[in-house]
Structure 1
């Protein structure tokens, strides 16, 4: 943050955008905020989490439950939260369903496992008052020593590096479950993840749709002993990496199709080299392998060319979208309305 009152960090597709605090700052009241807590068997902690937000002045707390087999729903109701039972399965589906229910402009989302601190709510919401549309809480800024196992920490850092490399933006902690966002920006995202990869998809979609996103430091505590995690580091980590790669298809097609093309060329080249070596060394011909090698190289070249063309279309689409958004902002500032036109 600059001392001249200008916001210096805002990722819109990896582009740095400056905004004037004087032009964008507005106070957000607690009545405009809904605290959204997706849960699954969080009876040991959800009551304390809800109470923590009530103490901070946030009375609108919505718990979207995935069919807990313990007393999560009953405890949430006893502590004054509105409880919804999701119609489908998975955290991603729960979040989408709950946001459709919410009728206030700002959403503060976090897990109900007691690892996130309700006192960080103001830190999370403050950037929204300055014009940002999506805020990610960085757990690594203030993490308890025993809050994350070494394997989980290594996996998180590898996933964040992969995200920066594939999608071209640095959000520090894309797997953080502590998010603040405007309901309007959420509606602009194309989300279809049903499971726990919702955080990954949110980060990718923010880059893809040019959502003004920033990262703030938060504290992250160890799960209480009586609370058990639903995640499996190796299996779920692999799923997240695959999701990052798959989502590059529409956000960074040059990387997605280019990597497939390079792999095809490399595989075809290896087979071709083997065929050539067999022919030179032993005088043996491998016609079928030669055809396979040629097909692999040709397919790889085609995929690489398709990636270049797709990247051009995506770049043009983003430029057109930015121009439309700029025109919309200028018209809004000028006080134009449909009636005026």
Structure 2
């Protein structure tokens, strides 16, 4: 038997009831290893098959690893952790990828690339192999979003056939358990500075008679959700900053009187809605900042810039409290001035519109101040040193 130290390549296939195609995939993988002379193994990460897939894998010379936790990502991570090779090539066990043609992946891995993605759009997609929704909308759009958010060179984020340096990927501490695992590998590899590349890969119609496990809208949303949450700058910071700027500016301008734009007039009611917009935008900005700091505290690999690093050094419970109190005092001073003016008039009836023009900004500043103080307190909680088990 080949020893652990001499195995160069582990070919890992996630499996959930793949009895129709599993033997074909394993045999093709064996053919590649025999033809190429690469010392390797075939690992089947079984996720609870009930159709005899486990025995088929054993009969065809593969090693079966039972993965209890359900999910595509769980199965693959279990297989990767159990693999004995320096390199891992993973691919679906539905016979949609040709495991007998892995030369380009191994060549790039031996050249030093740490993640080698297949690109089905460069290699060719056979008729019927990919639904039009995935081919023309899902995969191109999600891959484009990934490239924009994370500056990744990968143009096919969701290709199921990919190779990587096993230890480099384990060091990424991948967490997702479902189909979004495909995106997590690419995103964290890019953010982690791994050498990534693509090779053309052919996709053919899978050999199963049953429908695939993939659910287009559900899994597409999970991929999009992962990409957006992992980039708080685009999900919270930028939209929040725009909302806060528009809301604050509009609230202050309308404090001096109504505005008319042709047939459109903005008055106190518009000022109130703009205040709400400012509050929500400010919350989003604070959330983006706190998310990044928390991610850094927990060791997540989320992109950071020099401006954010400088900002983080100035942020603390004390600085948040001081800034928050000052903002709160601005609103409180406006409120006190209004109270004094009301007293000077004998606390009688007031011009509601005139009163609200000043009361709304005062309320806004007091809310922003309170939010800032609480954000500073949360920063203080994050800064408490804890013993990690």
- TM value normalised by structure 1: 0.73
Q: 1:291 to 1:242 in 2, by over 3 A?
A: same
Q: Does 1:177 align with 2:143?
A: no
Q: Does 1:296 align with 2:280?
A: yes
- Which consecutive unaligned segments of at least 5 residues does structure 1 have? 1-28, 317-341
Tell me the residue number matched to 1:217: 200
Cα deviation per residue 1:37-63 (whole Å; 9 max; x = unaligned)? 011121111110001111122661110
Return the match for 2:133 from 143, 151, 155: 151
> 264-273 vs 75-84, which deviates more?
264-273
Q: Is residue 258–residue 307 contact of structure 1 (8 Å, CA) maintained in 2?
A: no
Q: Is residue 51–residue 79 contact of structure 1 (8 Å, CA) maintained in 2?
A: yes
Tell me the residue number matched to 1:5: none
Return the match for 1:66 from 30, 47, 54: 47
Tell me the residue number matched to 1:312: 306
Return the match for 1:41 from 17, 30, 33: 17
Q: Does 1:258 align with 2:237?
A: yes
Return the match for 1:162 from 120, 132, 145: 145
Tell me the residue number matched to 2:316: none
Q: 1:265 to 1:294 in 2, by over 3 A?
A: closer
Give the match's secondary structure for 1:140.
Answer: helix
Aligned residues: 284
Cα deviation per residue 1:239-292 (whole Å; 9 max; x = unaligned)? 11111111224xxxx43442342463378479859x88x955596557864642
Return the match for 2:101 from 89, 114, 120: 120
Q: Distance in 1 between matches of 2:131 and 2:6?
A: 35
Q: Distance in 2 between matches of 1:70 and 1:40?
A: 9
Q: Is residue 133–residue 182 contact of structure 1 (8 Å, CA) maintained in 2?
A: yes
- Which consecutive unaligned segments of at least 5 residues does structure 2 have? 35-39, 260-264, 294-303, 311-389
> 158-167 vs 59-68, which deviates more?
59-68
Q: 1:304 to 1:32 in 2, by over 3 A?
A: closer
Q: Distance in 1 between matches of 2:181 and 2:159?
A: 10
Q: Distance in 2 between matches of 1:123 and 1:65?
A: 27
Give the match's secondary structure for 1:120.
Answer: coil
Q: CA deviation at 1:68?
A: 1.5
Q: 1:224 to 1:288 in 2, by over 3 A?
A: same
Q: Distance in 1 between matches of 2:131 and 2:98?
A: 19
Q: Which one has a larger percent helix, Structure 1 or Structure 2?
A: 2
Tell me the residue number matched to 2:326: none
Tell me the residue number matched to 1:104: 85
RMSD, matched Cα: 3.3
Cα deviation per residue 1:204-238 (whole Å; 9 max; x = unaligned)? 01111111110000111011251420111112111
Q: Is residue 239–residue 281 contact of structure 2 (8 Å, CA) maintained in 1?
A: no
Q: 1:308 to 1:74 in 2, by over 3 A?
A: closer
Q: Distance in 1 between matches of 2:140 and 2:237?
A: 24
Q: CA deviation at 1:312?
A: 2.2
Cα deviation per residue 1:272-329 (whole Å; 9 max; x = unaligned)? 59x88x955596557864642442354456567779995327889xxxxxxxxxxxxx
Give the match's secondary structure for 1:229.
Answer: coil
Q: Distance in 2 between matches of 1:265 and 1:123?
A: 50
- TM value normalised by structure 2: 0.65
Q: Distance in 1 between matches of 2:234 and 2:151?
A: 11
Computing the radius of gyration from Cα coordinates, the structure with the larger value is 2
Q: Is residue 46–residue 66 contact of structure 2 (8 Å, CA) maintained in 1?
A: yes
Structure with more contact order per residue of length (Cα contacts < 8 Å, sep ≥ 6): 1
Q: Does 1:52 align with 2:25?
A: no
Q: Is residue 271–residue 289 contact of structure 1 (8 Å, CA) maintained in 2?
A: no
